[in-house]
Amino acid sequence: MGLVARLLPPGLMICALVFTLPQFGSCHPAQTSEPHRVLFTEQFIRPEVRFHWRNITCPLCKSIFTILDIALLSDANKERVAHAVGEACVHLHLAEERVCREITELFKKDFIQALQESLLWPTEACALLVGPSCGKFDIYAPWNITLPKVPKPPVTPPSPPKPGSPQSKVLVLTDIHWDQNYEPGSAADCKEPLCCRKDSSSPHRWQRKAGYWGTYGKCDVPIQTVENLLENVARAGPWDWVYWTGDIPAHNVWSQTRKQQLSELTVISRLIQKHLGPNVTVYPAVGNHETTPVNSFPPPFVRGNRSSSWLYDAMADEWVTWLPEQALKTLRYGGFYTVEVQPGLRLVSLNMNFCSKENFWLMVNSTDPANQLQWLVHTLQSSENKGEKVHIIGHIPPGLCLGSWSWNYYHIVNRYESTIAGQFFGHTHLDEFQMFYDEATMTRPVGVAFIAPSITTYLNLNPGYRVYFVDGNYQGSSRLVLDHETYILNLTEANHSPGAPHTPEPNPKWALLYRATEAYGLSSMFPSDHDGLMRTFITDDRVFQKFWYFRYKGRVSKVCRESCKTETLCYLRSGRYEQMEQCDLFNGLGGNFVRAARKTLC
């Protein structure tokens, strides 16, 4: 035991850094450009955490994990594990000492239990960390959902609705990331992963200060911005319904408690109810930040205090005015549900945390956690039988999911392309989309995953929200997205009144950034229109640069050219994770692009 104890720290250091410390990395740092060489991966790389796993040799890695496996056979070593993790974090300067200590304490019980229950062998762990030359990482091995033997119906290309046909006006809110400790006037630049807070210290004379309505940089939004948004969208209605795709809490993931998470869930849910009123139904989805530790979503077979029932039960209680009993039942079980929005239109809300690599509970079993995708197939087949159209909402876009999960989801979208009329996600904080193509040729567009911009400013963004105009409630409606608008709060203007530069606007205006059909000269936003837009991006750089500006909600200062543009277009095509891997191959990036894309830990 003495030898094991002495050798524990490096092994624990590796485990913790892989599965916990990256959790408080940024989503998309401020865009950077270099003349003649702009890599798309730069948008994803975290500015705070710099540690390169390729510096670890294969034999050392395997030795470390062998020792770790032996150590964790005894529960008595759990505290040694946690202590060593904290020490490694501090000595490697991966974060401020307080952050290291607190995040270690927060993660230790969940992560260590998941590691003990997993089948993670040293060769598998080191294949993940060091590369395939060090072993085979098959803990996320391929698996297949089962599709019914019912033949796929003939595909009829959608046609634009007749002039004057009804339309549904749908509001989408995502990635609020409300910071309870946001403090106007505090330091906007700090050493910790999240700034503009009461404990961020007072800024020096030459340092930026946190603005009243929000701040560009490593800052989330204050409650006054959330309320101002809701007041504005209430006036901008009426809304037929609302999609709310997750992430309520701030990015202070090292110091969150269950009590805090539940309090924020209650406050924001009730604010939305208050401002939008009792006649507007909101359909929520579970984000990766709703839990603590962040990204920790055990499958339903994990019971007791480590399960997610504390969160799902609270969500069901808060959302009971929006969701029927049957939807609340599956929400309590696994964080997903289905509900009829209108006759002929069904909604499916997926818990995308069961597809996330950052969910360390999937080390135990990653094969269709909670049987969610098989449930989705059953739901879609039932809707196909009844002639319903289906909208799918979730937090993490499918192209950023684990490979097998992403492949199965892509397969489902292909099979039910005539039933799935819309897909709506968030998580990246950016205004973008991902394409789905027929699996036979990968050329015919069959679907679009719309990714809405965030309300939070994190990182270097204006707050924003999305409005969709959907083919409306009438017999034979396609229920497809016809158009969409993005609105933003320009923080430069909101924090400085024209007549008093150091005084914020008392009631700032959320302004239209763009309407998609007008900005891109399209008649609708069908999958075929998006595919044509992608081709236009290639041939007309002016249109692509316009998209690039909109993608960052009006906060990009440099153009995206050459490899940056190539990889961005590849990302937009990648509704399936495997396609990003192929992009790596075609562009000679050696895996850097796909690894960076996976680090969207918003």
In what order do the strands lie in the sheet containing 481-488? Answer: 282-284, 241-244, 167-173, 464-471, 481-488, 511-515
Known binding residue 83? Answer is: no
Q: Is 36 marked as binding a ligand?
A: no
CB-based contacts of 71, cutoff 8 Å, min separation 6: 4, 5, 8, 11, 77, 80, 81
Q: Has 429 been labeled as part of a binding site?
A: yes
Beta bridge partners of 337: 349
Among the residues of 118-169, which ranges form H helices?
Answer: 122-129
Residue 288, annotated ligand binder? yes
Quick check: 197 and 183 in contact, CB under 8 A? yes
Residue pair 402/140 in contact (Cβ under 8 Å)? The answer is yes
Whole-number Å distance between alpha carbons of 245 and 419: 21
- Cα separation of 293 and 20, whole Å? 9
Neighbours of 357 (CB within 10 A): 21
State the amino acid at position 294 in one-letter form: V
State the residue for tokens 């399209």: 522
Report whether 52 belongs to an annotated binding site. Answer: no
CB-CB neighbours of 377 under 10 Å: 19
Nearest to 350, CA basis, from 374, 367, 366, 326: 374
Q: Is 247 one of the annotated binding-site residues?
A: yes
395 annotated as belonging to a binding site for a ligand: yes
Reading the block at residue 156, the tokens are: 């009829």
d(CA 336, CA 424): 15
- Report d(CA 567, CA 589) in Å as an integer: 10
Residue numbers belonging to the annotated binding site for Zn(2+): 175, 177, 247, 288, 395, 427, 429
Q: Which residues are annotated as a binding site?
A: 175, 177, 247, 288, 395, 427, 429
